[in-house]
Amino acid sequence: MMIDETHDPARKSWVESANGHADFPIQNLPLGVFSRDGDSPRGGMAIGDMILDLSALALSGLLDGEALAAASAANGATLNPMLALGTGPRRALRKRVSALLSEGAAEKAQVESLLVPMREAEMHLPAHVGDYTDFYVGIHHATNIGSLFRPDNPLLPNYKHVPIGYHGRASTIRATGADVIRPQGQTKAPTADAPSFGPVAKLDYELELGVWMATGNDLGSPIPIAEALDHVAGITLLNDWSARDIQAWEYQPLGPFLAKNFLSTVSPWIVTMEALAPFRRAQPARPEGDPKPLPYLWDETDQSKGALSLELDVFLSSAAMREKGMEPLRLSHGAASNMYWTIAQMVTHHASNGCQMQTGDLLGSGTISGPKNGSQGSLMEITRNGKEPVELPTGETRTFLEDGDELSLAGHFTADGAVSIGFGECRGTVSPARA
Tell me if 160 sits within 8 A of 69, measured CB to CB.
Answer: no
What is d(CA 404, CA 320) in angstroms, rounded to the nearest whole number? 9
Round to the nearest angstrom and report the end-to-end CA distance of the chain: 50
By CB atoms closer than 10 A (0-12, 13-18, 19+), residue 106 is exposed
Strands 180-181, 426-431: pairing is: parallel
- Rg of the Cα atoms in the chain: 22
3-state secondary structure 51-80: EEEHHHHHCCCCCCHHHHHHHHCCCCCCCH
Which residue is catalytic, options 7, 21, 124, 141?
141
Q: Mark whether 350 is an active-site residue.
A: no
- Best CA proximity match to 111, nearest among 156, 51, 161, 68: 51
What is d(CA 104, CA 310) in angstroms, rounded to the nearest whole number? 31
Tell me if 391 sits within 8 A of 350, measured CB to CB.
Answer: no
What DSSP character marks residue 5?
A: G
Peptide bond into 253 cis (omega under 30): yes
User: Which residues are marked as active site?
Assistant: 141
